[in-house]
Chain A
């Protein structure tokens, strides 16, 4: 190893700093160029390496908290046991009635020759990591390309839409939430077939709040109405619940409504999510030839 004098080190340091800062700046410039669509190889490596740490840590901490949680609930378990036994008996009676109804339903379905089909394949996943920075809210799930996860696939919970996959490693994937400012989801207020209140739902500067833009001011919109995906953004399928309207403001013949939406999924406390193995249908040839076709997809 070459021994350097202190003077040499002092002379060398500013140049090293400049080189490293420049390297980081170039990385940032590339990252900013396609932050919502592309994925960088460093991010994929990072996800892969972190999986070996995050998965065991999450398993250990969840089992420890479950253990202590079970001790705490043990005291109330005896009282609950009595109530539950009674409820089980009630449910058994109810179940017998339901079984008869299901059998009847099956008979009728076979008569009508109907098939139950799942719209999309659902891949359950667990959140094993959260964004290490306090400024952003992305999450890491324990499913990756080996499980069939691809870039831009939608992520949901039983409550509603969570976000989409923005980086995929073989074992894990990074999910950007719909609350992120750069996110954009095509949304419709109410049922897609019957409603004309279409707009774009995007993140705001506030956590747990979305903004729906471009809804014409003349549209009748009420607080409490639900917002669903339209499926026209080329990423999310139609009919997923985004959230409920909590505030409606502004709006005139020439001005769009200012609509605030609360996400249906509990984004802060979710532990289990599901990845929809959904790939949007191919755009028609004439649409792909349009000058902004590529850019549109990236912005979403």
Chain B
């Protein structure tokens, strides 16, 4: 069920990315698929996150004037990097996720720009301005979306939390001082 919800969220993110710029220009500075890809990567299911990254990236590339596969490349890379970090560090706290999405956005935009430079394709956008605005837009939108997604996946999170703290509680019960009492 969680997988289905996340897949729907990803498809919705791609659709929003396709359409929202035509509705209002500032939406071009929000990378909706990246937000969902990072969220999926934070769920510690690396294979799913990587596949999501490739799918979302190529879907965006299909309608973009940039190189086909450039977004696919960056999002796959980001999904892998974030899932590897999430495997080692506990990041279910929203406050910890904000720097993660900001960092992911920064790296993603820098890699995307770099790839185009390597292949000799120059964009008409100013790199510093575009990266800065995208960083701000994606971080704000990401925070709001993560709050909403967390509510959607509350059951799973609660279960995982209790699982994680279970061992700690057991060790306290085994405290010899308490046992002595």
Contact = CB atoms under 8 A, between A and B. Distances in A.
A42 interface: yes
Interface residues of B, number: 52
Contacts of A26: 69
A85 B80 CA distance: 68
Contact of A24 (B18, B22, B54, B119): B54
A207 B19 CA distance: 21
Contacts of B125: 134-136, 207
B65 A137 contact: yes
Contacts of B120: 32
User: Which of B61, B66, B68, B70 has most chain A Cβ within 10 Å?
Assistant: B68
Contacts of B133: 134
A32 B68 CA distance: 8
A174 interface: yes
A131 B65 contact: yes
B148 interface: no
A182 B116 CA distance: 12
B121 interface: yes
A24 B72 contact: yes
Main secondary structure of the interface of B (DSSP, over half): helix
Interface string B61-82: 1111111111111001100100
A148 B42 CA distance: 47
Contact of B54 (A20, A134, A176): A20
A273 interface: no
Interface in B66-119: 66-73, 76-77, 80, 83, 87, 112-113, 115-116, 119
A205 B22 CA distance: 22
B74 to A, nearest CB: 9
B145 interface: no
Given A24-B72, A135-B113, A181 B124 contact: yes
B124 A207 contact: yes
A21 B124 contact: no
Contacts, number: 171
Contacts of B15: 53
Interface string A112-155: 00000000000000011111111111101000000000000000
B56 to A, nearest CB: 11
Given A9-B47, A205-B122, A43 B19 contact: no
A132 B73 contact: no
A136 B22 contact: no
Interface stretch (A11-19, A94-102, A235-243): A11-19
Interface residues of A, number: 57
B10 to A, nearest CB: 14
B66 A133 contact: yes
Interface string A161-184: 000001000000010100111100
Interface in A58-72: 58, 61
B125 to A, nearest CB: 5
A57 B23 contact: yes
Contacts of B87: 10
A46 B56 CA distance: 12
Contacts of A43: 62-63, 68
A12 B50 CA distance: 12
User: Which of A20, A25, A127, A207 has most chain B Cβ within 10 Å?
Assistant: A20
Top 4 closest pairs, chain A to chain B, by CB: A46-B62, A27-B69, A138-B65, A136-B65
Interface of B: 15, 17-19, 21-23, 28-29, 46-47, 50-51, 53-54, 57-73, 76-77, 80, 83, 87, 112-113, 115-116, 119-126, 130, 133-134
6 contacts: A27-B58, A30-B68, A40-B68, A43-B63, A133-B71, A180-B124
Given A54-B18, A133-B112, 16 more contacts: A13-B47, A14-B80, A20-B53, A26-B69, A47-B62, A50-B62, A129-B22, A132-B18, A132-B28, A132-B60, A133-B28, A135-B112, A135-B116, A140-B63, A204-B124, A205-B122
